[in-house]
Amino acid sequence: MAAVLDQPSPDAGWHTPVPPGHAAEALLSAQAVRRLSHAVLAAVQAGGSAHWQWRPQRLEAAADYVAGVIRERHPDLRVRFHARWRHFEAGGVDRMAALIEQAGLSSEAACEERARMRIDLVIPSVLLDAGAGPDWRYHDAATGQVLARSEGLGVASLALFTSGALSADPARPLRSDAAALMRLDAATLARAFQVQAGNPLVGLEGRAQLIARLGQVAAATPAVFGTQARLGHLFDALKARADHGRLPVATVLDVVLRALGPAWPSRHALDGVPLGDCWPCALAPGGWLPLHKLSQWLTYSLLEPLADGGLTLTGLDALTGLPEYRNGGLLIDLGLLMPRDEAWLQAVHTVDEPAVVEWRGVTVAALDALADAVRARLGVSADGFPLACVLEGGTWAAGRRIAAERRAGGGPPFALASDGTVF
């Protein structure tokens, strides 16, 4: 059943409206992320950073390494988009096909409701996808697999969803309703994610609070989530913005940032509008560096259900690379970006430190340069092999691989104190 949606407007049906011309508007886009991140990289290249040195002579070797990983993992160069759906396939198990069959939504006639269900699943799953830490594991009883990090978090979140814990209607367990999301607490999440003394999950409290806050924001945003406040109604809101079924990816991110931005912990705001994953940065023109990692990760992960629901997505490369520890760690491990003080890598850092903010901005810009160099080695075009494929094929896998080669446990090149809501 389609959602009953309010007509989109800048001031009605939104938890936190962002009217045209608002000061925050210029920071709530992938275009702003890319433009300001490239400015940060240019400043680092010019020697303007007190924290980092850029080593351009390492770019060719880095591109060779990433291209080699892609060829090894995908000899036919057929790479699916970087998205949360890949984690649900951990161990080569097609868990989504089983879920769709269970829900009775496998027919073409059910494509729109199937898209809603997939969105119900993927939004909380992405919000639960911040780094798990090196010691957490998830035992998948259905397959016997023991999974860690993103794959473990993905499969655990899938089990949480299929249990009906995110639905307010016991007769329809496979959905995410605001009322149920608001009730989720750390104890419930700990049970679902098998957290105990010997199996700690980084940022457990922060994750539970984020999901509860997601429910609050969804309930207060009927322009996107409908009067029933179901996450899957995002499909209907985006379909309404499509032009004859064609929907720019930039529009998807725009709605995600405006509708879900208020769910993030309040770190920085402009005139009452929370900026989300956006930080003060002296190297960025204007003094702010937006990164929007999880919002863009969610947008990448929405593309498949939206297409499955019948929409045609355009302008995929409007999105940027993701500034997280796999892509950013790759730059350090391959020697492209190095701290001015090697001892910096031995300390524990927080996400708001200037050096960490700069590192993440450089990562976004460097991924654009790496993508071009990798495509040249593979003999593919940007249209045929967009950034989403370079990431999946790609830089994320290469970052994981070289981390495992360099450090026991495969952790990042330096430690981050995480509350479970950024990385």
- Domain count of the chain? 1
In this structure, the strands spanning 246-248 and 312-314 are parallel
pLDDT for position 10: 41
- The structure tokens listed for 72 are 């090894």
Q: Which long-range contacts (CB under 8 A, 24 or more apart) does 161-168 make?
A: 161/120, 161/121, 161/124, 161/125, 162/99, 162/102, 163/192, 165/192, 166/120, 166/124
pLDDT for position 417: 85
Using CB atoms within 10 Å of the CB of residue 363, give its burial: 0 to 12 exposed, 13 to 18 middle, 19+ buried.
Answer: buried
Decide if 257 contacts 244 (C-beta within 8 A): no
pLDDT for position 11: 52
Q: Do the domain assignments include residue 13? A: no
pLDDT for position 388: 94
Q: Do the domain assignments include residue 88? A: yes
**% helix / strand / coil in the chain, to the nearest 5?**
55, 10, 40
Q: Do the domain assignments include residue 15? A: no
Q: Do the domain assignments include residue 226? A: yes
Q: Do the domain assignments include residue 423? A: no
Q: Do the domain assignments include residue 397? A: yes
pLDDT for position 134: 85
pLDDT for position 129: 87
Amino acid letter at 20?
A: P
> Which residues of the chain are modeled with pLDDT < 50?
1-10
Q: Do the domain assignments include residue 392? A: yes
- Residue ranges making up the domain that contains 67: 25-417
Q: Which helix (H) or strand (E) holds 253?
A: helix 249-260
Report the alpha-carbon distance of residue 373 to residue 340 in Å, rounded.
26
Q: Do the domain assignments include residue 5? A: no
Report the alpha-carbon distance of residue 41 to residue 46 in Å, rounded.
9
Report the alpha-carbon distance of residue 303 to residue 384 in Å, rounded.
16
Q: How many CB atoms lie within 10 A of CB 60?
A: 11
- The angle formed by the CA atoms of residues 154, 393 and 327, to the nearest 5 degrees, is 75
pTM of the predicted model as reported, rounded to 2 decimal places: 0.92
